[in-house]
């Protein structure tokens, strides 16, 4: 059976952008809004989909400019993407969802919680740049800080994305890997870099907002993440008034490397288990 069978992608327009998304059947409440990590897609959640769908209604999206969703230049920043998430919740009639937003979704979800706390039940983030000053490993540090973006345009996007996802411990199914490569073909990968290149400008703004976020926040991070070190989770936990950190033995792509532990941490957050 294909690893992607459980996820049935569709397309819809939200706030003027055509996005790829998938919904689950099962319970109608609670609702979990999942945002794709980078350079992956909604299929990053294939390994946790069934476990989560048994307990919640799932609505997963490729963020605009990521995965197979349309790029909108004005949304390629964490703060703008936070505004998009708030709009999506309204347009897709998601009620008051729990947002699961690993990796690049971390900062966007926290910006959304700061601006629209009434729309969000809780936030589950992690493995995303958050610390100020920046604390990032390679290759992300170079993707954020390298002054020469054009050199990445001259590179083979497939080679860049392939090298990144091939670090996933245990590997990933061929059909999932093929989707990742297809999603960032041509100029899509280098253009998606514009989002993380806003970190130096926008993460300090987010840091000032963190103490005001009363929404419950769970930060899930890999203990051995070489790309986004655990220090980023600790930075958030120190400043957020209602947070906890869950550390999973694994690297950067913990939703795929340790899906059972990741799904359990998400479900514990939904039930209010802050232990």
What is the pLDDT tens value at each position of the chain, 275 positions in all? 355 568 999 999 999 999 999 999 877 889 999 999 999 999 999 999 999 999 999 999 999 999 999 999 999 999 999 999 999 999 999 999 999 999 999 999 999 999 999 999 999 999 999 999 999 999 999 999 999 999 999 999 999 999 999 999 999 999 999 999 999 999 999 999 999 999 999 999 999 999 999 999 999 999 999 999 999 999 999 999 999 999 999 999 999 999 999 999 999 999 875 55
| Lookup: tokens for 172 | 């990933």
Omega into 148 within 30° of 0, i.e. cis? no
Q: For residues 244 and 233, what is the distance between their CA atoms, to the nearest angstrom?
A: 9
pLDDT at res. 45: 97
Q: 98 Cβ partners below 8 Å, 6+ apart?
A: 30, 31, 32, 33, 56, 120, 121, 122, 123, 124, 266, 269, 270
pLDDT of residue 1: 39
């Amino acid at each position: 059976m294909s690893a992607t069978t459980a996820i049935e992608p569709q397309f819809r327009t939200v706030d003027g952008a055509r996005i790829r998304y998938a919904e689950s059947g099962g319970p109608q409440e609670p609702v979990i809004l999942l945002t794709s990590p980078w350079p992956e897609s909604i299929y990053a959640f294939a390994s946790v989909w069934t476990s989560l769908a048994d307990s919640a209604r799932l609505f997963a999206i490729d963020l605009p400019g990521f995965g197979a969703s349309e790029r909108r230049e004005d949304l390629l920043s964490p703060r703008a993407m936070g505004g998009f998430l708030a709009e999506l919740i309204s347009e897709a009639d998601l009620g008051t969802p729990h947002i699961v937003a690993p990796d690049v979704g971390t900062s966007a979800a926290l910006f959304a919680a700061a601006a629209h706390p009434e729309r969000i039940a809780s936030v589950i983030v992690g493995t995303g740049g958050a610390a100020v000053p920046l604390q990032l490993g390679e290759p992300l540090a170079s993707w954020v800080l390298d002054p020469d973006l054009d050199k990445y345009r001259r590179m083979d996007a497939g080679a860049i994305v392939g090298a990144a996802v091939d670090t996933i411990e245990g590997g990933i199914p061929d059909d999932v890997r093929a989707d990742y490569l297809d999603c960032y073909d041509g100029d899509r990968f280098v253009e998606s870099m514009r989002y993380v290149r806003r970190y130096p400008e926008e993460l300090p703004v987010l840091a000032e907002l963190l103490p005001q976020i009363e929404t419950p926040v769970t930060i899930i991070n890999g203990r051995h993440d070489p790309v986004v070190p655990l220090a980023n989770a600790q930075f958030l936990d120190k400043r957020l008034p209602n947070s906890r950190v869950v550390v999973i033995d694994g690297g950067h792509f913990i939703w795929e490397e340790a899906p059972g532990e990741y799904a359990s941490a998400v479900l514990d957050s939904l039930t209010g288990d802050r232990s």
